[in-house]
Amino acid sequence: MSDAAALFETDSVERKPPLVEAAYDALKQAIRDGMFPPGFQGSELEMAHRLGMSRTPVHQAIIRLQSEGMVELRPKRGVVISSLSPDDMREVYDVIIAVEGMAALLLAEQPAAARQAVCDDLEALNEELVEALDRDDLARWADVDARFHAVLVEGSGNSRLAKIARINIDQSYRARRLTLRFRPKPVHSIGEHRLILDAVRGGDAAGARQMAQDHKIKARDLIVALLKRYDMKYL
């Protein structure tokens, strides 16, 4: 496994105490999976109880998630899970487009051995995507696709890009999961990933950037259109 793939599993920017990190991961996953849906309002103690965790690490996790825009701490109301509109989601994708384009460019500029190692990890993830689609397992496809793009950004070697990407990928997750059953089967994404990988392997920095951006522009336009078509106003 390359350094980029390993970094996806850990926070390369900040290290938190293990209990806080576990609470952060658990709370973020609960928000992504809908245990705490958009607009949910509750106390830190209630949320800690539902997660089966103590209040102190959950409190620290909530503060971190507030800085990332996923929750709000309100006086006398406790914790409120942030909602995103279709216009908010467009803005989130605009950031992802810029970040992933730059990440692909930086990755393509790395020495051949370094970029090949990252591409090997990405190719393995792309094969997992093929298998998920063959089984019509769209939830699995969404999870692996998020990993593919996270590893791509981590592979750039720019920790600030990686941090921005993680926050915005997390915010886009709910919209991607909500629209899975309404969109065409994403078979085209496999080929688009391969075009990105071909450009990176060949050291074509400009081409890699363009391919990565075009890929995410298509995703943005499709998802935002579906959110508006089905009147999904609060994500």
CA distance to 75, 79, 128, per residue, from 36 (Å): 19, 10, 29
- 76 in the same domain as 180: no
Q: What's the pLDDT band for 12 if we cut at 50, 70, 90?
A: very low
Domain count, the chain: 2
- 165 in the same domain as 113: yes
- 93 in the same domain as 190: yes
Answer whether residue 162 is part of any domain. Answer: yes
- 30 in the same domain as 144: no
pLDDT at position 178, please?
79
Last residue of a domain, one of 81, 112, 129: 81
Mean pLDDT of 79-89: 89
Q: Per the structure block, which two tokens stand in for 134?
A: 């063959």
Does the pLDDT at position 182 exceed 70? yes
Written as one letter, the residue type at 130 is V
Does the pLDDT at position 56 exceed 50? yes
Q: How many Å apart are CA 88 and CA 93, to the nearest integer?
A: 9
- 163 in the same domain as 59: no
pLDDT digits (tens, 9 = 90+) for 160-170: 999 999 989 88
- 183 in the same domain as 216: yes
Answer whether residue 168 is part of any domain. Answer: yes
pLDDT at position 85, please?
87
Last residue of a domain, one of 48, 81, 114: 81
Q: What's the pLDDT band for 149 if we cut at 50, 70, 90?
A: very high
Does the pLDDT at position 235 exceed 80? no
- 60 in the same domain as 32: yes
Does the pLDDT at position 131 exceed 70? yes
pLDDT digits (tens, 9 = 90+) for 194-221: 999 999 999 999 999 999 999 999 999 9
CATH of residue 179: 1.20.120.530
- 94 in the same domain as 34: no
Mean pLDDT lowest for which of 65-74, 91-100, 101-110? Answer: 65-74
Mean pLDDT lowest for which of 12-26, 76-90, 96-110? Answer: 12-26
Answer whether residue 129 is part of any domain. Answer: yes
Answer whether residue 4 is part of any domain. Answer: no
- 221 in the same domain as 121: yes
Q: Is the pTM of this model over 0.75?
A: yes
Report the 3 state secondary structure along 81-148.
ECCCCHHHHHHHHHHHHHHHHHHHHHHHCCCHHHHHHHHHHHHHHHHHHHHHHHCCCHHHHHHHHHHH
Answer whether residue 166 is part of any domain. Answer: yes
Answer whether residue 182 is part of any domain. Answer: yes
Answer whether residue 45 is part of any domain. Answer: yes
Could you tell me what percent of the chain has a pLDDT over 90?
68
pLDDT at position 77, please?
80
CATH of residue 35: 1.10.10.10
Last residue of a domain, one of 49, 81, 113: 81
Answer whether residue 224 is part of any domain. Answer: yes
Does the pLDDT at position 9 exceed 80? no
Does the pLDDT at position 5 exceed 70? no
Domain around 134: 85-229
Q: What's the pLDDT band for 17 if we cut at 50, 70, 90?
A: low
